[in-house]
Amino acid sequence: MYKKNHGAKIIVSLLLTSACLCAEVTKCQTPGIYQPFTKWYQDPLGLKPLDLSTAFGFAWGSAAVAASLIFTKKDTAFQNRLSSYYETGFSSGYKSPYTCALQNEIGFMYDVRKWMSTGIGLNAFHFKDLVNHTWSFGIRPFARWYPYRTNKVSLYFEYGAGICYSLNRFPLTGTGWEADTARTGTKFNLTSKYGIGAIVNCTNHFSLQLSTRHFHLSNGNVEGIERNPSHDSNGIFLGFIYKPGIKKKD
């Protein structure tokens, strides 16, 4: 019992420490209920105090995962499963300069409960508009909750936050005569995502997933607010999940 509780405390400490650091960096990101020029339907969970569209939401995600591990019992009849996944999709920015983002991600997920899994993904983003044309590469842990899950179909909500590094400074916001005074982003940025999706199990090992989500990128004002124009977009994503399965004991 001591070992289990000790392990849980270590996990919680790491999650909450990361959350506090992330919250400290991003606490000035959103001056109002929503970011400027943002409608509620463009970022439904971006309102305060949730702020899931910023990396501050990582605090909420960390707390939710920690609470799930501490206050729920592990189902001994449930066999934990490790799976790999790949997903690709396209999101469209709703703020000037209206950047289009091609997103690709590959990673692993682990079912820690029947109704929750955690994962980590390596991502590659390509951003393009009249001003921006660059690639970013990063890593992002996330958690996924399943309000409905069967052997055939599952519905889920997910949230994740991570970091990325761009080949060029991003975002750039100015064109023409205003380029010299426009706000300029940095190569290092924080990313976050939240969304809903569905999974269809095609075989015992192979599944398809379709999702829609909100994507946010900013640097958390690490070089001041004038160097932190954020990117926000919504998009649709298609993914593939592979579960190797568990070998039966002889």
Q: For 174-229, how does the pLDDT look when each residue is reduced to its tens digit (9 = 90+)? A: 754 445 456 789 999 999 999 999 999 999 899 999 999 999 999 988 887 778 88
User: Residue 155 is part of which domain span?
Assistant: 2-242
Q: Is residue 25 part of a domain?
A: yes
Q: How many domains does the chain have?
A: 1
Q: Is residue 201 part of a domain?
A: yes
Q: Is residue 249 part of a domain?
A: no
Is residue 43 within 8 A of residue 53, CB to CB? The reply is yes
Q: Is residue 247 part of a domain?
A: no
Q: How confident is the model at residue 152 (pLDDT cuts 50, 70, 90)?
A: very high
Q: Is residue 170 part of a domain?
A: yes
pTM across the whole model: 0.82
pLDDT tens profile 55-83? 778 888 888 888 888 888 887 767 768 99
pLDDT at 53 over 70: yes
